[in-house]
Structure formats: C-alpha cells, structure tokens
Homo-oligomer: A and B are copies of this chain.
Amino acid sequence: MKLKVKNINFETGNVKVVVLNSKDAEELGQKAGERVLLKSIGSKSVGVEQLIAILDISYTDSMVAPGEIGIFLDTFKNIENADQIKQISIHPTEAPASFAYIQKKVKGQKLSSEEIYSIINDAVSGHLSQIELATFITAVSINGMDNYEMTALTLAETKSGDFFNFGDDVFDKHSTGGVPGNKVTLIIVPIVAAAGLFIPKSSTRAITSPSGTADSMEVLAPIAFDSEEVEQILSDEKACIIWGGALDISPADNILIEIERPLHMDPVGLMIPSILTKKLSMGVKQLVLDIPCGPGTKFPTPADGKKFALLFKDIAKSVGIIAECALTLAHQPIGHAVGPAIEAKEALTLLRDYSEGPNSLIEKSTDLAGILLEMGGKVERGKGQDMAKEILRSGKAYDKMKQIIKAQGGDPEIKPEDIKLGPHKKEFFATKAGHITDVNNSIINQIAKAAGCPHSKTSGVEIFKKQGARIKEGDLIFRIYSDSGSKLKKAEKIYNSSGGPIILGGMMIERI
C-alpha cells in the first residue's frame, strides 16, 4: 500500500508509532498494536535499510485520511532527510524476535544472554511497544530472573549507552532509598575524595520522594554535564556529584523505568541490574550499597535487606564490581531536614562545623564512608569510620566539597546562611509534655511534597524533635517551608488531619 506522508506534531516517547486511517488498516488487514514495515517511494530508502513501526489507527479522516500515513515527530528523529520523504509504502510484518523472548519469560522460562540483548536492543530502538514492555516487566515481577539473567541484563543495559573507563580504582556509594532526609552522599563523597579515592558520583532527581541527591546538590552547583565535561571535572578533582540524567548512560534502563514507575513495579530482577548498569557505565569498580530497612522502604525487615544484599553482591561480582552492603535504620528521617535546599543547608552546616551535627547524619555518613575507605585500602578494616570522622572533623571534607562545587561551576564560598528557604512558613508546637515515640516518614514525605518538593527547591520541612527526645508543652517541634501560600495551606492541612508526623507518648500502651 502506497501512502502520502502526513507529519503529526506530537512526540510518542521512545516507541516508534505510525497512524493509518481505519479504512486503510482494514484493507491491509492490520490492527492497532501490530507492526508494519515502511519503505520510502521514489527516492532512496528512509535512511535505514528498513524501518519497523507499531500501528495506531485513526477513526477520523481529519487526523489521518485514507491514503495518508501519520508520522509522529520523533519516529523519524534519527533519520537523515526524513522531511523530504513524501510517499511511503507499508507492509504487514511480524513482531521482532525479542517479543518471542518476552513470551518465554511469561511462560517462566530462562532467557539466554543473547535473548536478553535482543529485548534490550529492541526496547532502545523503539521496536517494542509499551504494552509489550509492560508484559516483560510483569513477567519478570512474577517469574523472576536468575543470577545469570540479571548479569546479562546489566551488561546489555550498559552496552545500550555511553560508558566511562577510569581504570581500576573507582569507588561509589548508592542507596536503595526509602528514608527521608538521606543527604549522606553530600557528606560521604567529600570525605572519601579528601582521602584520595576516585568517586564519580552520578545521582538521580527525586522520583517519588521530596528530594533526590541531584536536587539538593543543584542548590550548591550545576549538576547537568555531558561526558567530556564530566571527564574534565573528574580529571581535576577525582570526584563529582552530578545528575546522571544529562548523560546517555544506560538508556535501556531509563526506558524500563518509564514503564515500571506508573505500574508501581520494581522487581528485584530489574532493580539490581538498574543499580549496577548505572555504576558500570560510570566506570565504578568498588561500591558501598546503603540498604535502609524498615516500613516504607523496599525492605520491611533487616532479614529482607540481608537476602537482597547477598544477592546484590553476587551479581555485582559477576559484572566486575566489588560491593559491600550496609543495612541501615530507616525508622525516622536522617538528620532534621527534608527538602532540596534545606538538606543542602544541613549538609553544608555539618561539613563546615562537625559540632553542629546532627548525630544521625554524622553516624550514617561516616559508617558508609568508612567502608569505602577500608575497601580502598586507606585504613585497616574496623578503623574506617574513625578515619571518616577525623576527615570530617578536620575540615578536609569541607575543603574538598568547596573544590567539587567550584569544579562544577558553583560558588565555593556559599554559606549555609546563603541558602534561602520558604518564604512562606508555619511552625508547630507540642500541645503537651512527654517524649517522642515515633516519627512518621510517610506523613513527612506527604507534607514536604504538598509544600512543593522537589520542584520547589526552597520548600521543605524541619523536624526539631526525634525519637526519644523529651519535650515540654509549647516546644517547637516542626516547621514547614513553602514557596507558595496555597501550597503551605495544603501541607498544613495534611499535618493537622494526620495528627502530625511526630508522635508523643508515655509508657502506657493502653488504658482498659
């Protein structure tokens, strides 16, 4: 069938889609979701030997009339002279071989590394539709992936994009997430870099949380760089804290995450390759993995976390990364601040003056940094945390952080006092005396997000009293910052309707 090209001014995301009028689709015997092979007419080919796209159907002639083929903006994005193609012939064609491999996983069969490569290649080239990828993710969620498959997936995802090689001594940290206020990266990187370890830290923006490491770091310095700029920063400073999203590392992983997120799925079989491919692409050879355990995290109990840790170490080893894992407490936020700017402020305050604390941030950061220092041979086993605390206390980590900020184009003389919050704010006070028995992470996240996090950097929350603290009636216990009065009102409403995230209790469990 020969068709006239009609450009549609709309992007479809990664998947290659073309639109036919329902009459032509019927004539061709094709249904929505099926595949067609496209060839240009009266000129050379459409730029590649063959282009396969997934069919969508228009039931209105005004969108795509009979005799026309609707081409989305991005379907021909990478094709030379695409705008000169006036006429296209269209032919029914089969699903790619990789779809048969997805069906194998549905049937509970193991996939070979070639089969996994094929799925990943077709995902990246737009030859697998969203519902086919959803089927793959669902099948992995239910039927799992064995160590061999996770290894192959990690390598295939890594090959799908750019990757760095910085030699053998390359260190990193990562967290499986789920605990608010976890700004430890902003402390760990300068500590281990001050000790001379090479650490090309790439991080993400918040996905479901009030702030990601990238969001907080962006308060202190630019974070989006291309490969050459990253190499320059690392060649100067041996360390960075950048946003991975500006690099073309592991696009296959990003494509899977785009489907996993709305499905609320994050199966271990995809989670481990997702972490490892990002590290492998950054040239990382030794890694400490922070695994927060507790309600609201991916690992409700330490036993769950341990099982994951042992599996993670195995897969990491098979892709050439030595990993150590730390199960960490996640029952309340790390430190007192949650939100992009307020977390940067808290981290910078600690870097400048160890005595400012807070304790939970010092302990967790130096625990993890200490493991890296031991892995890197900077100190004997068991002495890493002491060394990390000494580096932090001495001001060397602060100096290193200023150099990283400068190398990334920020102002190295930025002070915690310079970091603006609010301007709208609301404080909450204890209505009775007692001591804090619980701090509810989930309510804190809801309040922070209602206040504008992570999009508004200056929004956030400050927790003045944490578990075990004794308080008097009228003590300041909580503060919300927001960039907008109406968002502040929404956040206040959540505080009031939930009874607040900070639970005061005595010793009595129940009065009967």
Using a CB–CB distance below 8 Å, which chain A residues touch chain B? 8-11, 13, 19, 26-29, 31-34, 58-60, 62-63, 73, 95, 99, 103, 106, 108, 129-135, 137-139, 141-143, 207, 258-259, 261-265, 449, 454-455
Q: Which residue of B lies closest to A135 (CB)?
A: B138
A-B pairs, top 6 by smallest CB distance, nearest first, are A33-B262, A131-B134, A138-B138, A134-B134, A135-B138, A10-B63
Tell me how many chains of this kind the complex includes.
2
- The reply to whether A259 and B131 form a contact with Cβ atoms under 8 Å apart is yes
Name the B residues within 8 Å of A59 (CB-CB): 11
- The reply to whether B11 and A60 form a contact with Cβ atoms under 8 Å apart is yes
Complex CA gap A10/B63 in Å reads 6
- The reply to whether B58 and A11 form a contact with Cβ atoms under 8 Å apart is yes
- The reply to whether A263 and B131 form a contact with Cβ atoms under 8 Å apart is yes
Complex CA gap A233/B70 in Å reads 41
Q: How far is the CB of A454 from chain B (nearest CB, A)?
A: 7
Name the B residues within 8 Å of A103 (CB-CB): 264
Complex CA gap A452/B250 in Å reads 44
- The reply to whether B258 and A32 form a contact with Cβ atoms under 8 Å apart is yes
Q: How far is the CB of A256 from chain B (nearest CB, A)?
A: 12
- The reply to whether A262 and B142 form a contact with Cβ atoms under 8 Å apart is no
Among B31, B60, B99, which residue has its beta carbon within 8 angstroms of that of A73? B60
- The reply to whether A11 and B63 form a contact with Cβ atoms under 8 Å apart is yes
- The reply to whether A33 and B455 form a contact with Cβ atoms under 8 Å apart is no
Q: How far is the CB of A448 from chain B (nearest CB, A)?
A: 11
Q: How far is the CB of A262 from chain B (nearest CB, A)?
A: 3
Name the B residues within 8 Å of A34 (CB-CB): 262
Q: Which residue of B lies closest to A55 (CB)?
A: B262
Complex CA gap A107/B31 in Å reads 31
- The reply to whether A132 and B10 form a contact with Cβ atoms under 8 Å apart is no
- The reply to whether A63 and B138 form a contact with Cβ atoms under 8 Å apart is no
Among B10, B58, B262, which residue has its beta carbon within 8 angstroms of that of A129? B262
Complex CA gap A259/B132 in Å reads 10
- The reply to whether B11 and A32 form a contact with Cβ atoms under 8 Å apart is no
Name the B residues within 8 Å of A455 (CB-CB): 26-29
- The reply to whether A60 and B106 form a contact with Cβ atoms under 8 Å apart is no
- The reply to whether B29 and A135 form a contact with Cβ atoms under 8 Å apart is no
Complex CA gap A258/B34 in Å reads 11
- The reply to whether A33 and B258 form a contact with Cβ atoms under 8 Å apart is yes
Among B31, B73, B141, which residue has its beta carbon within 8 angstroms of that of A262? B31
For this complex, 26 residue pairs linking A to B, each with C-beta atoms less than 8 Å apart, are A10-B10, A10-B63, A11-B58, A11-B59, A11-B60, A13-B32, A26-B455, A27-B455, A28-B455, A31-B207, A32-B262, A33-B258, A60-B73, A106-B141, A106-B265, A108-B142, A129-B262, A130-B134, A131-B131, A131-B262, A132-B263, A134-B134, A134-B135, A138-B138, A139-B142, A142-B143
Complex CA gap A148/B228 in Å reads 61
Q: Which residue of B lies closest to A64 (CB)?
A: B10
Q: Which residue of B lies closest to A139 (CB)?
A: B138
